[in-house]
């Protein structure tokens, strides 16, 4: 295993142009999160207003994510990535101008949050479907690890950079920096429009999917047709349904306990300072990054059932231990292990979904995976808060039981059967993806 293996997908011209742009976009998003939060507090001094500004952006993502998946398949991910970053730069730039001129009001923040959330509905399916379309099949898992690892690194460095910018130049000028990063992402990704790709050689990226409604078909009917086609892909593959359910179960079991439970544990049970709380969250992030690197760097992974069983046990035991043991070092180790298992878990499942989905439906499949997590996470926050009113033990043990049951439902259901299209592809002499953790049916 070599950590440098996650950089091998950069041999592809498309991914070599995509990755720097995504780095700029990720850092822009992380810095913007800090700046917008600070600006909300400057304007209102209200914790409720802060939470509302940060949370309102989820609403359009839940509503429009499936439409974004159709757009990624219909228009092509490259155009969407370029235009989304261009629009982000304009929106954030306008807010920066209003801030510098001291004209900004609280309602501006809500409008910006809604607009950026709507854009993310299209950006997320496009970026998730970009890796299998921009790198060769044998580098798919490493490519996913590269993109996910970059996001984890940005999540660690970006907020620090955002806080430093606000301290040095103030919220308005810091926001100009965010707009500039989005503009850099747009210009860098624009180079993709002339790059070659790996998906459907000889067919232009974004060409209409064969056999689907095109031409004179009304756009509304075409959208409904595309959505039905995406749902039919899942409905006709029972194992896909179980994997999507597992993604939702993981979001329910982990989102609330980490985001809500860890702050409670740090303050109410351990009585530690805010800096020690930051260390706990850093252990989770560091573990996640290690898990991503391990999953992406390994030449071959254990069988599907073995790997998923090990990862499930690590996360289940770690969750239960957090509820049972009241020692700060133990909690730190549990978060490190759980983060590593969750990071590897994500890479394996996303890669498996991408490999099992036909290229022309990748956007819709990734939007379904995104929607499963988007819907499950708020429910997890609410459930975690309610369970904490009973006891912290009930919350962590309940999360571990939910995760264990959800994982067992998938693992005990049997190995996935070959996708109907896979046998056809092999008859045509196309290679199988032999280096991932996907089982060999």
Judge if 143 and 261 occupy the same domain.
no
For residue 289, is it within any domain?
A: yes
Task: For 34-53, write each residue's pLDDT tens digit.
Answer: 888 788 878 887 666 766 77
* Confidence at residue 112, expressed as pLDDT on a 0 to 100 scale: 92
pLDDT at 273 over 70: no
* Burial zone of 339 (CB within 10 Å; 0-12 exposed, 13-18 middle, 19+ buried): buried
The mean pLDDT of the chain is 77
* Confidence at residue 256, expressed as pLDDT on a 0 to 100 scale: 78
For residue 57, is it within any domain?
A: yes
Judge if 132 and 191 occupy the same domain.
yes
* CATH code assigned at 401: 1.20.1250.20
Q: How confident is the model at residue 85 (pLDDT cuts 50, 70, 90)?
A: very high
Q: Among 140, 171, 196, identify where a domain stops.
A: 196
Can you give the three-state secondary structure of 247-293, one letter per residue? Answer: HHHHHHHHHHHHHHHHHHHHHHHHCCCHHHHHHHHHHHHHHHHHHHH
For residue 27, is it within any domain?
A: yes
For residue 6, is it within any domain?
A: no
Judge if 43 and 121 occupy the same domain.
yes
Q: How confident is the model at residue 62 (pLDDT cuts 50, 70, 90)?
A: confident
Q: How confident is the model at residue 269 (pLDDT cuts 50, 70, 90)?
A: low
Judge if 243 and 307 occupy the same domain.
yes
* Confidence at residue 68, expressed as pLDDT on a 0 to 100 scale: 83
Q: Among 172, 196, 220, identify where a domain stops.
A: 196
Judge if 164 and 271 occupy the same domain.
no
Highest mean pLDDT among 375-389, 397-411, 419-433: 397-411
Residue 85's CB is within 10 A of a number of other CB atoms, namely 27
Distances (CA, A) of 20 to 25, 66, 197, 222: 9, 27, 17, 34
Q: Among 135, 170, 196, identify where a domain stops.
A: 196
Judge if 239 and 171 occupy the same domain.
no
Overall domain count for the chain:
2
Q: How confident is the model at residue 439 (pLDDT cuts 50, 70, 90)?
A: very low
* Confidence at residue 425, expressed as pLDDT on a 0 to 100 scale: 38
Judge if 235 and 182 occupy the same domain.
no
Q: How confident is the model at residue 28 (pLDDT cuts 50, 70, 90)?
A: very high
Q: How confident is the model at residue 26 (pLDDT cuts 50, 70, 90)?
A: very high
For residue 220, is it within any domain?
A: no
* Structural domain that includes position 89: 11-196
Give 149's contacts (C-beta < 8 A, 6+ positions apart).
6, 289, 292, 293, 296
* Confidence at residue 204, expressed as pLDDT on a 0 to 100 scale: 42
* Confidence at residue 210, expressed as pLDDT on a 0 to 100 scale: 39
Judge if 192 and 254 occupy the same domain.
no
Structure tokens at 375: 């819907």
* Confidence at residue 186, expressed as pLDDT on a 0 to 100 scale: 92
Judge if 254 and 109 occupy the same domain.
no
pLDDT at 219 over 70: no
Q: Who wins on pLDDT, 414 or 99?
A: 99
* Confidence at residue 441, expressed as pLDDT on a 0 to 100 scale: 28
Highest mean pLDDT among 11-20, 181-190, 338-347: 181-190
Judge if 57 and 156 occupy the same domain.
yes
Q: What is the mean pLDDT of residues 241-266?
A: 78
Judge if 113 and 240 occupy the same domain.
no
* Residue 298 backbone dihedrals phi, psi, to 5 degrees: -70, 135
d(CA 139, CA 206): 22
* Residue 79 near residue 18, CB atoms below 8 Å: no
pLDDT at 212 over 90: no
Judge if 62 and 184 occupy the same domain.
yes
For residue 367, is it within any domain?
A: yes
Q: Who wins on pLDDT, 407 or 411?
A: 407
* Residue 206 near residue 76, CB atoms below 8 Å: yes
Q: How confident is the model at residue 276 (pLDDT cuts 50, 70, 90)?
A: low
Q: What is the mean pLDDT of residues 151-157?
A: 81
For residue 28, is it within any domain?
A: yes
Q: Who wins on pLDDT, 263 or 347?
A: 347
For residue 424, is it within any domain?
A: no
Q: What is the mean pLDDT of residues 342-359?
A: 80
């Amino acid at each position: 295993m070599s950590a440098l293996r996650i950089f091998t997908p950069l041999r592809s011209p498309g991914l070599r142009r995509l990755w720097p742009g995504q780095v700029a976009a990720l850092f822009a998003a992380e810095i913007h999160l800090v700046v917008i939060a600070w600006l909300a507090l400057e304007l209102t001094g209200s914790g409720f207003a802060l939470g509302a500004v940060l949370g309102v952006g989820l609403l359009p993502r839940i509503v429009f994510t499936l439409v974004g998946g159709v757009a990624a398949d219909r228009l092509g991910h490259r155009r969407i990535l370029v235009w989304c970053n261009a629009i982000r730069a304009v929106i954030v730039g306008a807010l920066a101008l209003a801030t510098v001129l001291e004209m900004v009001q609280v309602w501006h923040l809500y409008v910006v949050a809604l607009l950026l959330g709507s854009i993310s509905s299209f950006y997320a399916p496009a970026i998730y479907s970009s890796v299998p379309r921009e790198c060769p099949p044998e580098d798919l898992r490493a490519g996913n690890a590269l993109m996910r690892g970059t996001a984890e690194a940005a999540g660690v460095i970006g907020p620090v950079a955002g806080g430093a910018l606000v301290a040095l130049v103030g919220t308005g000028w810091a926001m100009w920096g965010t707009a500039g990063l989005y503009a850099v992402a747009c210009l860098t990704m624009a180079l993709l429009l002339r790059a070659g790709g790996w998906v459907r050689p000889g067919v232009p990226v974004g060409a209409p999917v064969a056999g689907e409604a095109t031409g004179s078909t009304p756009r509304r009917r075409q959208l409904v047709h595309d959505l039905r086609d995406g749902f039919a892909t899942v409905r006709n593959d029972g194992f896909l349904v179980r994997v999507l359910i597992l993604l939702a179960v993981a979001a329910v079991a982990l989102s609330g306990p980490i985001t809500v439970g860890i702050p409670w544990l740090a303050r109410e049970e351990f009585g530690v300072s805010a800096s020690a709380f930051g260390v706990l969250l850093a252990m989770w992030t560091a573990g996640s990054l290690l898990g991503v690197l391990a999953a992406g760097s390994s030449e071959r992974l254990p069988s599907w059932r073995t790997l998923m069983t090990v990862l499930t046990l690590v996360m289940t035991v770690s969750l239960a231990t957090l509820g049972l043991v009241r020692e700060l070092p133990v909690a730190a180790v549990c978060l490190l292990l759980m983060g590593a298992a969750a990071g590897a878990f994500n890479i394996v499942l996303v890669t498996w979904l991408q490999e099992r989905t036909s290229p022309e439906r990748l956007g819709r499949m990734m939007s379904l995976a995104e929607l499963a997590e988007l819907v499950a996470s708020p429910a997890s926050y609410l459930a975690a808060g309610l369970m904490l009113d009973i006891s912290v033990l009930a919350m962590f043990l309940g999360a571990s039981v939910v995760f264990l049951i959800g994982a067992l439902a998938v693992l005990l259901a049997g190995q996935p059967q070959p996708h109907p299209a896979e046998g056809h592809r092999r008859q045509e002499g196309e290679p199988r993806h032999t280096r991932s953790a996907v089982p060999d049916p």
